[in-house]
Structure 1
Amino acid sequence: MRSSLLYLLALIALPAAAQIYRYTDASGNTAYSNQPPDGVKSQAVELPPLNSVERQPPIAPERPAPRADKNSAYSVLELTGLPNEEALRANNGTFTVGVQIQPRLQGPHQFRLLLDGQPYGQPSNVPHLQLVNIDRGKHSLAVQVLAGQNVVQQSPTVTFTVQRVHTP
């Protein structure tokens, strides 16, 4: 019984150690086989050793960055694309601002701009928001994250100046 088990294991291991042969078939094509063909000149193919990968220890998941406010849903929520020092040049008063948010915006949440303290435009889940035909002069802008009609979080308010061409 024991000898038949060893014989069976040896048979199972044979295909893993099989030799590959290269030969030219009757049509002149190069062919490969695990058995040398009868009556055809063939040569054994030397194969490189099999690739192996050592098992790596599991990597601990990164911990999220600490939030500035424990009651905040997002650790980062701020407007981008607005100048800090100089005026924003928008000859027709149209420009786009970006929203930087961490972690990503959650499913039911949406962005809404506040221009000069008043809601501006329709809520959206896209982190690029366009303002159209904004008058020249000084303005304040913030972004809110909404869950339905409720404000989840608001970014810091950014003050900037719009510079437009004046046409009489």
Structure 2
Amino acid sequence: MGRSFLFLLLLIALPAAAQIYKYTDANGNTAYSNQPPDGVTAQPVDLPPLNSVEPQAAPAPSAQNAASEQPRQAYEVLELTGLPTTEALRANNGTFTVNVLIKPRLQGPHLFRLLLDEQPYGQPVNVPILQLVNIDRGLHSLAVQVIDGETVVQQSPSVTFTVQRVHTP
């Protein structure tokens, strides 16, 4: 096994144009070398040609194809859930949670950032359950962004809702 490993190693290490010689050493072992040894009869070994693969150039995209492609979004689904759309959200202290539906899962360095009335709200987080605190009563819009640092990767559609807070005198 050791000799065949040595032979394979020699085949890999030598340049394609090098000649390999086979001979029997003083101990009667078959040996291979890239130079015939002095005083020993060596036979050249005919090796089959090496396999090679020529790289193929990728076809250049045509201007028409590039113009028709739309930018690919990182996430197939990105939307807010848990907000009523047909009735008011009852939150006496203005505190409530919303969920983010995202497919596939949030990737590595990406974070969620809420936009309340088109302004960033709270700190970016990596969990899909977001809490809003002490939101004034009235009509609001809410969206979620996936961000990478300060770069917006993708933004959900805005959801319009009404917060209803009971005021006691």
**TM-score category, normalised to shorter length:** 0.5 to 0.7
Distance 2:136 2:78 in 1: 26
Which residue of 1 is the match for residue 153 of structure 2?
Answer: 152
Distance 1:159 1:138 in 2: 7
One-letter identity of the residue aligned with 1:156:
P
Which residue of 2 is the match for residue 101 of structure 1?
Answer: 102
- 1:84 to partner: Cα distance: 1.4
Identity %: 80
Secondary structure (helix, strand or coil) at the match of 1:105 reads coil
Secondary structure (helix, strand or coil) at the match of 1:146 reads strand
List structure 1 runs of 4+ shifted beyond 2 angstroms: none
Distance 2:147 2:163 in 1: 27
In the alignment, structure 1 residue 127 sits paired with structure 2 residue 128: yes
One-letter identity of the residue aligned with 1:142:
A
After TM superposition, the structure 1 = structure 2 runs for residues 77-116 of structure 1, keeping only pairs within 5 Å, are: 77-116=78-117
- 1:166 to partner: Cα distance: 1.2
- 1:70 to partner: Cα distance: 4.6
Distance 1:142 1:131 in 2: 12
After TM superposition, the structure 1 = structure 2 runs for residues 1-168 of structure 1, keeping only pairs within 5 Å, are: 70-168=71-169
One-letter identity of the residue aligned with 2:163:
V
Instruction: Report the TM-score when normalising by structure 1.
Output: 0.58
One-letter identity of the residue aligned with 1:167:
T
**Structure 1 spans left out of the alignment, 5+ residues:** 1-68
**Structure 2 spans left out of the alignment, 5+ residues:** 1-69
Distance 1:123 1:71 in 2: 23
Distance 2:116 2:74 in 1: 22
CA-based RMSD: 1.0
132-141 or 69-78, larger mean C-alpha shift: 69-78
Distance 2:160 2:121 in 1: 16
One-letter identity of the residue aligned with 2:157:
P
- 1:167 to partner: Cα distance: 3.1
Distance 2:91 2:100 in 1: 19
